[in-house]
Amino acid sequence: MKKKSPVFCEHANEVPVECKCKPDCYCKTYTCKIAKKSIKKAKLKMVRTRKDGLGEALHSALRKCCDSHPTTIAWNVINMSECNEAWDAYLAEVEKRLKSKKVTTENAWEVLKVLYNEAIPYGKHANAILRTAFKMFSDEDWKGMATFLEEI
């Protein structure tokens, strides 16, 4: 495991006002580097995806509306550059399904839940970590992740 890993940071899934971590901590590169900017701007910069609206909504919901170990794992692995392919593939499939007239705000969480296994490509460790984190989500985690979809 790399020293610059979210596992070693006490607040890697937050944007603290004041960071007391060592200079080589994971958060100095990803989250705390932008802690002095507004939370709204920070949130946009942290999401690594070409699908800004959808990616921002789902990623933000993982941090603000979910509070379980699997959602924390998912939030952190999405921040890893090694996960860009998996996250983009997942977002592309979600985007296709959400455009369907059958998907409503009440059942959108079910769409998120069923797509991860078929959408996330195999082969990379980060992809496997994200897929496994999603597999451990409870229905409440999926509902929390879908919370911000109304805003896009």
Interval 47-106: pLDDT, tens: 344 446 788 888 888 888 888 999 999 999 988 888 888 898 898 888 888 887 677 778
Half-sphere exposure in the Cβ direction for 115 (13 Å, CA): 20
Long-range contacts of 72-77 (CB under 8 A, 24+ apart): 72/13, 73/129, 73/133, 73/136, 74/130, 74/133, 74/134, 74/137, 75/13, 76/6, 76/7, 76/12, 76/13, 77/126, 77/129, 77/130, 77/133
pTM: 0.64
- Read off the pLDDT of residues 6-37 as tens digits, 9 standing for 90 and up: 555 666 555 555 667 777 776 666 556 544 44
The pLDDT of residue 4 is: 55
Kindly tell me the sign of the dihedral angle through the C-alpha atoms of 120, 123, 126, 132: positive
* Nearest residue to 87 via CA among 109, 119, 44, 62: 119
Per the listing, tokens 């990379």 go with: 124
Averaging pLDDT over each range in 38-42, 44-48, 131-135, which range is the top one? 131-135
The pLDDT of residue 131 is: 92
